[in-house]
Every structure is written in structure tokens, then in C-alpha cells.
Structure 1
Amino acid sequence: MSTVDPDLAEHVAARDAWARSARGPLALVNAQHVDRPQPVWPVAGQWAPVPGGLTVTAAAADGVVVDGVPVDGTVLVAGDTAVVPSTVAFADGLAGTVHGSTLRVWDPASDAVSRFARIARFAPRPGGWVTAGRYEPWSGQEAPGHLTDAAGDPLPVAGTIETTVDDVPVRLTAVRSAPYHGRPRLQLIVQDTTSALPESDPGSSYSMGRFLYLPEPDGAAEVALDWDRLVLPPCAFSYQYACPVPPEENRLPVALTAGERHPVDEQGAVLH
């Protein structure tokens, strides 16, 4: 098995671009659950829950635009499960999206976006750091249901992956992630001994853990785990996100000195 990743530099650049993008995690300045009519900081309008999304009530002078049409009255804002989710624009370049009954407000000129320089990473090992694993899907009768993220949303369990990391055999629980470029993929939510180190320590990584994605096989199969592709969860960039908690079996007793560590500014200070 080759341990050389010719696409790593492209992967790193794409991740940095995603972090600072207009809908990247650094731009999320509020994620407010709307369970009754209420204002939402820092945008205009009165927001209320309805089946399929939210409504916004605003005057034309408020500058709220839903699906390209200025709001003057009360308008439905379709959520992200709709066939065509709504887009919302506000004054000063802010934007909004609806996730369930939560209004997410994005500011592409947020303080975090302005301060961000890069995602600090561990130096890659010579030749890469790839381990061979064996994926075993859960059968319908064995499946433990699902894990939950910190917000209580379900993370459906797909199966297990057995591998050896620095001579330590592990059996990891894999959840089913959203498709990527039309392909199903698995997600490992892991912590390791670097997760507990102080943020100022060059050997540390984000305390709540990191993610590793890989293509989901059709059934039981050999898989490759490229630890240089460990990425930070969105909650590493903004307090507006909830972090999933790694299951006990995914808390590794080894130091995964690979992949992403923290988002940092030009001086190397951790942003969050």
C-alpha cells in the first residue's frame, strides 16, 4: 500500500479556503434556536417557527431579502431540508440560512475571518501516515442505533474499523456521513493523547477531537486510513457549533501527530 499522498497540499489549501469562506465556520456569528416569535442578533426582523422552516416579519426599510425578493410583511424562509432551501440576505453583507428551527447568521467579514491565517497542522511523517484497516458494517440486528452530537442530533452508526496505530490495535466506531461529491462516506470521530495537551503546546490538537473521512465500501472491505487527513470539526472554529463527543472506543491511547491541530492567526495564536 502506498503511503504517499500527492494531493495533500491541495487538501490543505482547500481546507484553509473553506475555513475563511463566506459560509465557512469562521463566518458563523450566531446560531439561534427559534421556538417562539423573537428577534435574532445581529439581524433585522421578527422570527417565528413554522413547519418547514421559519417566518420573518420585516419592513422594507429593514433590508431583509429572502430568495432575492425584499421583505415587506411576513415571509416563509424554507429550511435546509426543503427541496429548495431559502437564501436570506441582510444589510452589511450578512446572510442567513435555516437549519431545522435555527437561524444561522453568517458574516464573511467577521472578526474571526479577519484574524484567521491558517489551520495549524502537524508536520507530515516522511512517506505519510497511512494504516490498513478492516471495515465491517453493522447488520440490522446488531446495529447499536446511533450516536448523538452535542446538540442531540443523531449520527447513524455504519460499522466498525479495526486497525493498528503505532503498534496499538484499535476497533473504531464509524458513523455514516453526508455524501461527498455524490459518494457515500464514513466518518471517524476520534480523540487521542494530543487532544488533552494545552493549546499553547506545539504537540496539542483540538481538545474535543478530530474527524477522519473515508469512502464507504459496499460491504466488508479492506480500507486505508490516512491520518494526515484528520480535520478539525466546525466547533473548533466557532462556539456556534455543537461538537459530537467521540465514543469511548474512539478515544485512542496514542498520539496522532498528524493532520490539523488548531485554527491560528498570523502570530500562531489559537483562535478558538
Structure 2
Amino acid sequence: MTSSARERWAVGPRGPLALVNAQRVDHPQAVWPVPGTWAPSVGGLIVTAAAGDGVVVDGVPVDGTVLVAGDEAVVPSTVAFPDGFAGTVAGRTLRVWDPASEAIARFAAIDRFPRSDEWVGSGRFTPARDVDGLEARGDVLDAAGDPLVVAGTVSTTVGGAAVTLVAVRSAPFGGAARLQLIVQDATSAVPEDDSHSSYSMGRFLFVTDPGTEADVELDWNELVLPPCAFSYQYACPIPPPENRLSVLVTAGERHPIDRDGAVFH
């Protein structure tokens, strides 16, 4: 994805800068800043609202109690609220999106390190079935604290250091299977106002999944920021110990910056 496409994604109606609340619903409760009373249910959440509240689920105004199907449903529900707000359900969490959010108004660009061919290399992917105990490990977690599916390892050299990185399964992109490396390097420890810094919690590198043991291209210029770099409404996945690099990887995305040139957070 190009830099301009990434910036369009960031400010899109379902981009990270539009997310203004992500509230877990374990019992009947209100959710800021939208109307209705929300409660957990099989398959998603239920919302109770009056016609005057202006809640619309799957194109139908709510006047009573309605199921809002979650993202894992065959057909997830669409939810519209007054003032342009929208909602989606992930598990028991209601995500509220504002396409006119203050964060979108502040955003200027995604700052990047200069592209360099020095950061284009290769590695050797070994599937998890060929690495004893790798599939059973429980310390590779997503942002919600749930175990990720470990696909295998990628052995390579980064900044002169030999490393073996843990790769997890990623959602397909453009119809092609992908691996994801959740990495943190020494640029994460550099102060934000330094030209060698990057987001403190780490970055993602997506790699084509060969489906078997094989060499893979590693273009570190393609390192991207996680959604949590843009919004506190996202939790950050923690890089596994093997993926915490001691070298400076001065490649890829650094920080989202605002119109004053300051790092978002």
C-alpha cells in the first residue's frame, strides 16, 4: 500500500482516526457518545432505543430492541446514529466511528524514514509444524490479549545481527496469503523528537506467505504503524521476545504527525 493510500486509510470513515470509542459491553449500559442502551447477546449486541433516538440498524430505524450482529457474522450489521456517527460490533465491543473526528481534523501525514535499498533483503521462512513447540506457545497475543496463530519463523539478518523472528498468520490481502511480523527495534527507544525515532510500541511488517519452507523477501521500508499509533481506542499487540531487535531499523513508517508537526501520541 502506498504512502498516500495509507494516509487515506488513516482518515477514512473506518480508519483509526475516526474511532472515538471502543467500549466493551458486559451488561446493559450506555455507550458514549451515541444513544440507546446496549447489552451483550449471542451473535453480537442488542440495542434498546426509541424512534426519536435516531438509531438505525441495517437500514431500519430502531423503536424497541434489536440485535446488532457482530463482525464475525455472515452478514455483520451496519449501525447509523445522528450527527454522522456509525457503529460496528466486534465480539462484545461497540466501536463508534466519527468521520468528522477531532483527530482527523488534526492529522497531517504519516512521517517515514527515507526509503533505502539497504533495507531490502530476504529471510528463510520455516512453518510452525517444523519448529518444536512453536504452535503451542501462548505468549504471542493480539491487542485484545488473545493468542495469535503462529505460522512459523523467519530467519534473517537485520542491521548485521542474525535473528529468528516469529511470524503470525495475517488476513489475506488482495487475495494473497500473508504473514505478519510484529516487531520492535531500537528506534522505539529513541525520543520522539529525534530523527531516528519510531513509534514506541513497535511496527508491523507484512510478508507474502509461501505456504511452505522457502525464502521470502523482507522489505523493511514497508514497516507500517499499528492502529494504536493513531488512537488510544486501540490496544497494541506486544512483540514477542524474539521480535524485539537491538538494532536501529531506520526504515518504514515512523509516526503519525499533526498539522503542527507534532507526534500524535
Normalising by the residue count of structure 1, what TM-score does the alignment of the two structures yield?
0.94
How far the C-alpha of 1:132 sits from its partner, in A, is 1.2
What is the CA-CA distance between 1:267 and the residue it aligns to? 2.3
Q: What does 1:208-223 correspond to in 2, within 5 Å? A: 208-223=201-216
Please identify, of 23-32 and 127-136, the stretch whose mean Cα deviation from structure 2 is larger.
Answer: 127-136
- Partner secondary structure for residue 77 of structure 1: strand
Question: Which residue of 1 is the match for residue 151 of structure 2?
Answer: 158
Q: Distance in 2 between matches of 1:232 and 1:31?
A: 19
Question: Within the alignment, does 1:236 sit opposite 2:229 as a pair?
Answer: yes
Question: What letter matches 2:177 in structure 1?
Answer: P
Quote the residue 1:167 is aligned against. Answer: 160
Provide the alpha-carbon RMSD of the alignment.
Answer: 1.2
Where structure 1 has 5 or more consecutive residues not aligned to the other structure, the ranges are 1-9
Q: Which amino acid aligns with 1:270?
A: V
Instruction: Quote how far apart the aligned CAs of 1:218 are.
Output: 1.6
3-state SS, counterpart of residue 244 of structure 1: coil
Q: Retained in 2: the 8 A contact 1:44–1:58?
A: yes
2:97 corresponds to which letter in structure 1? W
Query: Which residue of the partner structure matches residue 89 of structure 1?
Result: 80
For 1:101-142, what per-residue CA distance to the aligned partner results, in whole angstroms no more than 9, with x for missing partners?
Answer: 0000000111110000110101112x3521110000011763
Say which of 192, 195, 216 aligns to 1:199. 192
Q: Measure how far apart 1:11 and its partner are.
A: 1.1
CA distance, structure 2, for counterparts of residue 150 and residue 97 of structure 1: 17
9, 34, 37: which one pairs with 1:46? 37
What whole-Å deviation, never above 9, does each CA across 1:56-106 have from its counterpart, x for those lacking one? 000111110000111111000000010000000000100000000000000
Aligned residue in 2 for 1:3: none
2: CA distance, partners of 1:111 / 1:139: 47
Moved more, 137-146 or 32-41: 137-146
Percent identity of equivalent pairs: 67
| Separation of aligned partners in 2, 1:128 and 1:103 | 43
Output the amino acid matched with 1:176.
R
Alpha-carbon distance in 1 for matches of 2:94, 2:147 = 20
Q: 2:202 touches 2:239 (CA, 8 Å); kept in 1?
A: yes
Matched with 1:132 is 122
SS of 1:139's partner is helix
What is aligned with 1:6? none
Q: Distance in 2 between matches of 1:201 and 1:143?
A: 37
Q: Is residue 57–residue 77 contact of structure 2 (8 Å, CA) maintained in 1?
A: yes
Q: Is the 8 A contact 2:135 2:151 kept in 1?
A: no
Name the residue aligned to 1:70: 61
> What SS is found at the alignment partner of 1:155?
coil
Match in the other structure for 2:182: 189
Q: Cα deviation per residue 1:157-179 (whole Å; 9 max; x = unaligned)?
A: 10000111121111100000111
C-alpha distance in 2 between matches for 1:98 and 1:154: 20
Offset from partner CA, 1:11-32 (integer Å, 9 cap, x none): 1111011001000000000000
1:224 corresponds to: 217
Shift of 1:197: 1.2
Q: Given the alignment of the two structures, is residue 253 of structure 1 paired with residue 246 of structure 2, yes or no? A: yes
Displaced runs of 4+ in structure 1, greater than 2 A? 140-146
Between the aligned partners of 1:23 and 1:153, the Cα distance in structure 2 is: 23
**Code of the aligned partner of 2:202:** G
Residue identity opposite 1:197 in structure 2: V
Q: CA deviation at 1:261?
A: 0.6
* 8 A contact 1:128–1:228 mirrored in 2: no
Amino acid at match of 2:4: A
CA-CA distance at 1:200 after TM superposition: 1.7
How far has the Cα of 1:150 moved from its partner?
A: 3.9
- How far apart, CA to CA, are the structure 2 residues paired with 1:148 and 1:165? 23
SS in 1 for 2:155: strand
Scaled by the length of structure 2, what TM-score is found? 0.96
From 11, 14, 20, the counterpart of 2:5? 14
